[in-house]
Structure 1
Amino acid sequence: MTKDLEMAPRYGDDGAYLPPPARHGGGGGAELDDDGMKKRTGTVWTASAHIITAVIGSGVLSLAWSTAQLGWLFGPVTMMIFSLITYYTSCLLADCYRSGDQVVGKRNYTYMDAVAAYLDSWQVWTCGVFQYVNLVGTAVGYTITASICAAAVYKANCYHRKGHDADCGVYTTMYMVVFGAVQILFSQLPNFHNLTWLSIISAIMSFTYSFIGVGLSLARTITGEIHTVLAIIMPFFNDILGFLGAIGFWPLTVYYPVEMYIRQRKIKKLTTRWIALQSLSLLCFLVSLAAAVGSIQGVTVSLKSYVPFKTKT
């Protein structure tokens, strides 16, 4: 979450976008990089670890459900296609790391800095809106899904002890409050995003999500208790994650990288390359729109039985 805040736009009193502030290296005679910052010590391995923790989240838990909706043929093919699209647009975004010359040009330290360096002011504003909507939506969505998952664990244990005919309903409000309190506690830690042990735990959790996702994809071979847990978690969980993914995928993963790349490389309109890039962006927009509409419909159905502070799962 701190990383998302660092990506937030900076504006002056007149509403104009402010360029990134000058950055200086730390004291003590530390060796400086070519831009005056403390020399970076990252490697391919550390960069890969950060990519893993950023890309692999609890969203992979819904991949089994998504695959089931599309079938074993179209499900994996669709995931592979959009994985390649994400990889391609990530490469376009990486090419925009420096403004001007790609070797010695000014570094863009945040996503917003890159957008401001290449695109128009209205695109900078809309990018900020998408980032904040994604940030707030993710915070709300994960609070909901975390509470549902905690309640599912409680119900699974309850059914195991008392049998499947027992009344094991539980209010999720308590779990939401606890989850929110933990977030507030962690947010008070200084330099929380720079803690080494946190990165290690995040990487471990990312792989754990992946292994759980593999396990969920094999749920047809698991006994009744696991099916009960899946039935408890999946409906609302998938709709929330689907909606968050839909509103964040096209603008932040496809549209802005494509537009910045076109502007950087000075690709002329209606050329073959321009048409190909814009067609890719349009295709992803339509897919995101369809996914958002479907997720909203699913959330609407789920909310019919949801009463704030009184709903049991």
Structure 2
Amino acid sequence: MFIEKNPGDYENGDIPENLDDDGRVKRTGTWVTASAHIITAVIGSGVLSLAWAVAQLGWVAGPIILMAFSFITYFTSTLLADSYRAPDPVHGTRNYTYMDAVRAYLGGRKVQLCGLAQYGNLIGITIGYTITASTSMVAVRRSNCFHKHGHHVKCQTSNYPFMIIFGCIQIILSQIPNFHKLSWLSILAAIMSFAYSSIGLGLSIAKVAGGEHARTSLTGVTVGVDVSGSEKVWRTFQAIGDIAFAYAFSTVLIEIQDTIKSSPPENKTMKRATSVGVSTTTIFYVLCGLVGYAAFGNDAPGNFLTGFGFYEPFWLIDVANVCIAIHLIGAYQVFAQPLFGFVEGWCSKRWSDNTFITNEHGVNVPFYGVFYINVFRLVWRTMYVILTALVAMIFPFFNEFLGLIGAGSFWPLTVYFPIEMHIAQTSMPKYSLKWIWFKILSWVCLIVSLIAAAGSVQGLIRSLRAYKPFQNQD
């Protein structure tokens, strides 16, 4: 069993080759693995809803807002990458989690607020991914049903069995000890995200090239034709929020950076990975959003793969939805592992003498070698996956609530804390020109979060009114 030690625990200061200078397991991550983690976290199946978002905003505001949030996310992520070590971004002490970074630079109540925003968001995302993955699995069955019986048939299928299947897979994958062992799954998930995004983009291009006319406009959906005045406002709020949160991966940025080896400096490698990840996702977002809008116009569906913007070729729709499900299997772990690590780390410190929590048992696995099982990790992670699946089954409209959680976490995690930690790190003079611009950016993003929260509340109220429990969810 590997026992974590501090450097002072070793005689003469000698650190074993398999350990870092702080006594933890030596990190092996590179900009490639970090980029895979970022792409897995950022490109969710939400990319397929960007055509709907652009339809609400139009040809002018849609691309501008897409590019604006791409820049904001990249900029604040570089600030956060410099906060991984404190007080110096290269030679300072490592901060293993987002909360550790906030504690090192800001301290006080802000640490608790950071934890509440971060871990509340992570819980919400894992529940939302359970719903979304099951929707993609259902779409495969419905696609084959439509192909066989015609598009007029309802082809209703319950999401519940697929939520159970997704949960069973996550119970197994949740036994991956930590983020450091997750690279292979993130790379697979990133490949899947490219696959279904490309399929959606290709189908949209084929639809446009086929000569089918779709009504579009510079300002998006038209008041009095497509929507009422109030609907236009609420949809615009929701579209801005969808785009803002589609880029956000700050929730797990520090945890991703903690997998990167120390040479070259982690912040330099992370900035490169962030550049690759954000630029790659921006290209896909702009293409899927704009080409999707050109294909469907103001009638763009919320998700043109699971919402059946396309019916044929049915086998290609099936492949895309399978890719979405596989991607979300990996993405679930990317967002769950920081939560697992936080709970297990806290319990280990709180009950350090409890063998149920601390003991590791080696098991020989064919073709793998010795795999260490911790009984507490096995029980607690299994219970967590079961609980998220149950919540997803009880509240299948949770995606609307997830939008509200995202609105509450976007500003503090993606904008406020990175800016405040950068100001503290650089001892930036108060009321200097640079300080003023940082504050303006923070306040603008706070307004965006409030607008998105209002749109999410309105959508949640609408879903609650339409919700009919104990019926199959399409």
Given residue 125 of structure 2, which amino acid in structure 1 is its aligned partner?
T
Is the contact made by 1:240 and 1:299 (CA closer than 8 Å) also made in structure 2?
yes
What's the TM-score once normalised by structure 2's chain length? 0.54
Tell me the CA shift for residue 274 of structure 1: 1.7
Given residue 410 of structure 2, which amino acid in structure 1 is its aligned partner?
F
Distance in 2, Cα, partners of 1:152 & 1:173: 13
> Paired residue for 1:187, among 165, 174, 179?
174
Tell me the CA shift for residue 102 of structure 1: 2.9
Tell me the CA shift for residue 28 of structure 1: 9.9
Tell me the CA shift for residue 221 of structure 1: 4.4
Residue aligning to 2:234? none
Tell me the CA shift for residue 33 of structure 1: 4.0
Q: 3-state DSSP class of the match of 2:466?
A: coil
Matches within 5 A, 1:64-83: 64-83=51-70
Is the contact made by 1:89 and 1:254 (CA closer than 8 Å) also made in structure 2?
yes
Matches within 5 A, 1:277-292: 277-292=438-453
Is the contact made by 1:86 and 1:253 (CA closer than 8 Å) also made in structure 2?
yes
Over 3 Å counting, the alpha-carbon distance change for 1:309 and 1:140 in structure 2 is farther
Matches within 5 A, 1:218-237: 218-219=291-292, 221=295, 229-230=308-309
> Paired residue for 1:109, among 93, 96, 104?
96
Gap regions ≥5 residues in structure 1: 1-19
Q: 3-state DSSP class of the match of 2:308?
A: helix
Q: Structure 1, residues 238-282: CA drift from partner, whole Å, max 9, x if none?
A: 746644432332111111101111111122332222221111111
259-268 vs 166-175, which deviates more? 166-175
Q: Does 1:302 align with 2:381?
A: no
Distance in 2, Cα, partners of 1:31 & 1:189: 19
Given residue 182 of structure 1, which amino acid in structure 2 is its aligned partner?
I
Q: Does 1:119 align with 2:198?
A: no
Over 3 Å counting, the alpha-carbon distance change for 1:237 and 1:125 in structure 2 is closer
Is the contact made by 1:119 and 1:263 (CA closer than 8 Å) also made in structure 2?
yes
Residue aligning to 1:132? 119
80-89 vs 45-54, which deviates more? 45-54
Given residue 299 of structure 1, which amino acid in structure 2 is its aligned partner?
L
Identity over aligned residues, as a percent?
53
50-59 vs 138-147, which deviates more? 50-59
Over 3 Å counting, the alpha-carbon distance change for 1:307 and 1:24 in structure 2 is farther
Q: CA RMSD in A?
A: 3.4
Q: Structure 1, residues 57-110: CA drift from partner, whole Å, max 9, x if none?
A: 223222222112111221111011011011110111112122123332212122
Aligned residues: 291
Is the contact made by 1:243 and 1:292 (CA closer than 8 Å) also made in structure 2?
yes
Over 3 Å counting, the alpha-carbon distance change for 1:213 and 1:109 in structure 2 is farther
Given residue 179 of structure 1, which amino acid in structure 2 is its aligned partner?
F
171-180 vs 110-119, which deviates more? 171-180
Distance in 1, Cα, partners of 2:8 & 2:26: 10
Residue aligning to 1:47? 34
Distance in 1, Cα, partners of 2:404 & 2:201: 22
Distance in 1, Cα, partners of 2:305 & 2:171: 32
What's the TM-score once normalised by structure 1's chain length? 0.79
Given residue 280 of structure 1, which amino acid in structure 2 is its aligned partner?
L
Gap regions ≥5 residues in structure 2: 205-287, 312-320, 322-396
Q: Does 1:272 align with 2:433?
A: yes
